[in-house]
Chains A and B, each alone.
Chain A
Amino acid sequence: MIRLEPRLLRPKWLSVAVPVGSIVVALVLGAILITVSGNSALDTYGRILDVAFGSVQSWSDTIVAATPLLLTGLAAAAAFKMGLFNIGGQGQFVMGAIAASGVGLALPDVTGFVSIPLMIAAGMLAGGLWAAIPGFFKTRFGTNEVITTLMLNYVAANVAGYLIFGSMSFWRLTTGSGQVFPQGRPLSDEAVWPAFGGGGLEIPLGFILGCMAAACLWALYRYTRFGFEIGVVSDSPEAARYAGINVPRTGLAVMTLSGALAGLGGASDIGDIRHVLDPKGLGQTGYGYTGIVVAALARWNPLAVIPLSILLGALANAGRALQGATFPAGLVGTLQGLLLFCAVSGEFLTRYRVRVGHKRPLSAAELEAQAA
């Protein structure tokens, strides 16, 4: 007889072994799929590695691909850690992109030292407000945030589409090729974000901001009163109320913070990568959703989001570069999906112990005796 038994204590080693194990299992499952469909798995993985990490240039590309995932991953980590299912990273990302490009376009001749911080602020504000809408409904009425954030992704995509395709908005290019194909106005050179690094390695500003945000978020959750309150609210709202913590306000704040991080990702997408509001491009990337994969693999730990965003960024980068006959489209998404499934299923092992046999579960008292 096989029985599941909740673990009272979660061993430390499991929190490392489970993510590593789930990545391995996902890669093995992926390999089986590749082999069954008639390609060499080793060869495919080898080429992914090579394209993603083989040269300085590929490192640069990988980090560029990782930047939006880092920020949406942090957005997901911030909210999910508190048990708020913000699936709306995508929409918040798009709103951030809209606001940041709006500010960038409005200040074409102002020095980047002024316009870039304003773009960042605008992106975060827009993303935060967009997330505050479902956050408000959630904390005020208990409206399920999963569906509302999801719906707002599509609304945001339509807002972006409307600005470029459906109207003659401020964001739309109305001269040159813009008269033939609807497209966004490009940023002025001043408003384009700088990249850092040397020896051919280029790290976009957004990635650096993301690393700083990860550190801040980690410190916020770990070292501040606010983080302490978040921990209590997510574990036991009753205890939080008993301790005099304002539960709805804490939830709304976390939702807004999460949205602001995704919005920062959108701003970086404009400032670092695209330099133009591109609704179709934003829609295809699905950064908001991949960010949740990143955060789940990182077990909602902000610092772990950094390496995992690079990992999934590498995968995305390789997918783009390798697409072709022997590297079918869809492989990247499949691998991402497998990774996420394995990660969340592996989480199960940290919560339950699988026991074979009829043995009675240990009581709290016995565990205590064992521990002592």
Chain B
Amino acid sequence: MNDSFLMAILVSALFYGTPLLFAALGEVLTERSGVLNLGVEGMMLMGAVVGSVVSARLGGPSWFVLGVAILAAMLVGALTALLHAFATITLRVEQTVSGLALTILAGAAGLSSYLANVWQLRDPVPHQFTRIDVLGLAGLPVVGPLLFHQTFLTYLSWVLVAVGSWYLFRTRAGLNLRAVGESPSTADAMGLNVVRTRYVHTLAGGALAGIGGICFSLSIVPTWQDGMTAGRGWIALALVIFGFWRPVWVMLGAYLFGALASLSLTLQAQGIDIAPEILDSIPYVMTIVVLVAVSAGWSSRRLSAPDALGTAFEREAR
């Protein structure tokens, strides 16, 4: 093993970890409000397909097209999440089933694929996110490629991690959000609007998952393929648990899982042959271990899932 090998791993960790980071950050916001949305994969694919079509059809300078693509992906991701929000918050449908319905509806063999067909997305998209050489520092050893030679999306994700952490733990809105996710009845008694909080953060989660989607369609796999996110939506769900519902830890987890995604190729190049299936299983197994550890009380309670996660809120009848 040498430095260039390690660099290769780190660079690909960031590259493959970025979409996971967006989707997982979004899901952190959603789950912090007490809503479990299993439809991440579907929302990502909806964002991806809309990003693709904007890039393919919209005229203008690249920065403009890509900017519109991000906004469109966020909008569509949020609209997809709205289905889940309406079903689970207003109609009090079981969150698990509704999220699953969302993935089936929008997922690899669903609406995203249908739209790609209708819009005839076949060729590589003309506008893609490329690496930016920030301040000409990309050539620096080690930190250059890692910190100063990333796509706009990666920089955006870093901003979001910082903003997300600050929002969750340093603002009143974040405190209210966490209260709603922990104990909606207490939040209600304190005069907070539980329903609105849950709607807002479920939609925000969808919007971020939409950006996660265009990481694929406009950066990683610039030619449309049905189901191009390849199950990363589920990994993002795992990541939320793995990162204990905290943006910074989720970021570390995203890069860890991102590194694992490409590790077998990198290892093969080094002449080390480990079946990719084994490496691919690691995130899932690790997530199960973490989840069991948390529920068995082997870790601090402050790290456990929001207490009201997955439960509908109904004001006590009086």
Say which one of B5-13, B111-119, B154-162, B214-222 lies at the interface with A: B111-119
Q: What B residues does A166 contact at CB under 8 A?
A: 275-278
Check A142 for interface membership: any CB of B closer than 8 A. Answer: yes
Min CB–CB distance B273 → chain A (angstroms): 10
B281 interfacial by beta-carbon distance below 8 Å: yes
The answer, yes or no, to whether A15 is at the interface (CB within 8 Å) is no
Indicate if the CB atoms of A146 and B38 lie closer than 8 Å.
Answer: yes
Nearest opposing residue in chain B for A342, CB measure:
B101
Q: Which residues of A are found within 8 Å of B238, using beta-carbon distances?
A: 147, 151
Question: By the criterion CB–CB under 8 Å, are A162 and B100 in contact?
Answer: no
Assess whether A159 is in contact with B277, with CB atoms less than 8 Å apart.
yes
CB 8 Å contact bits of B110-154 with A (1 = contact, 0 = none):
111111111000000000000000000000000000000000000
Q: Which one of A117-125, A189-197, A218-226, A287-295 contacts B?
A: A287-295
Does B182 lie at the interface of the complex (its beta carbon under 8 Å from any beta carbon of A)?
no
Within the assembled complex, what's the spacing in Å between the Cα atoms of A38 and B114?
12
**In the bound complex, how far is the Cα of B118 from the Cα of A330, in angstroms?**
10
Interface residues of B in 52-96 (CB under 8 A from A): 83, 87, 91-94, 96
Interface size on B, residues (CB 8 A): 54
Question: Are B105 and A337 interface neighbours, CB within 8 A?
Answer: yes
Query: Are B118 and A38 in contact (CB-based, < 8 A)?
Result: yes
Q: Are A165 and B277 in contact (CB under 8 A)?
A: yes
Contact between B100 and A87 (Cβ–Cβ < 8 Å)? yes
- Contact check, B284 vs A151: say whether CB atoms are below 8 A apart: yes
Q: Which of B166-174, B197-205, B246-254, B287-295 contacts A (4 or more CB under 8 A)?
A: B287-295
Q: What number of A residues sit within 8 Å (CB to CB) of B?
A: 52
With both chains docked as a complex, state the minimum distance between the C-beta of A281 and any C-beta of chain B, in angstroms. 14
- A158 and B109 within 8 A (CB): no
Judge whether B103 is part of the interface by a CB distance below 8 angstroms.
Answer: yes
Cα of A162 to Cα of B273 in the assembled complex, Å:
13
- B101 and A341 contact, CB distance less than 8 A: yes
Q: Which residues of A contact B93 (CB under 8 A)?
A: 344-345, 347-348
Q: Is A174 interfacial (CB 8 A cutoff)? A: no
> Is B97 interfacial (CB 8 A cutoff)?
yes
Set B226, B281, B287: member contacting A147, Cβ < 8 A: B287
> Given A38-B118, A337-B106, A345-B87, do A296 and B234 touch, yes or no (CB 8 Å)?
no
Instruction: Say whether A154 contacts B231, CB under 8 Å.
Output: yes
Q: Which of A331-347 contact B (CB under 8 A)?
A: 331-334, 336-338, 340-341, 344-345, 347
6 contacts between A and B (CB under 8 A): A33-B111, A85-B97, A144-B305, A147-B291, A162-B278, A330-B116
B residues touching A (Cβ–Cβ < 8 Å)?
A: 36, 38, 83, 87, 91-94, 96-98, 100-118, 226, 231, 234, 237-238, 241, 275-278, 280-281, 284-285, 287-288, 291-292, 295-297, 305, 310, 317
Residues of A within 8 A of B (CB): 6, 33, 37-38, 80, 85, 87, 137, 140-144, 146-148, 150-152, 154-155, 158-159, 161-162, 165-167, 286, 289-290, 292-293, 296, 328-334, 336-338, 340-341, 344-345, 347-348, 351, 361
The 7 tightest CB contacts between A and B, nearest first, are A337-B105, A330-B113, A166-B275, A330-B114, A333-B110, A333-B109, A328-B117
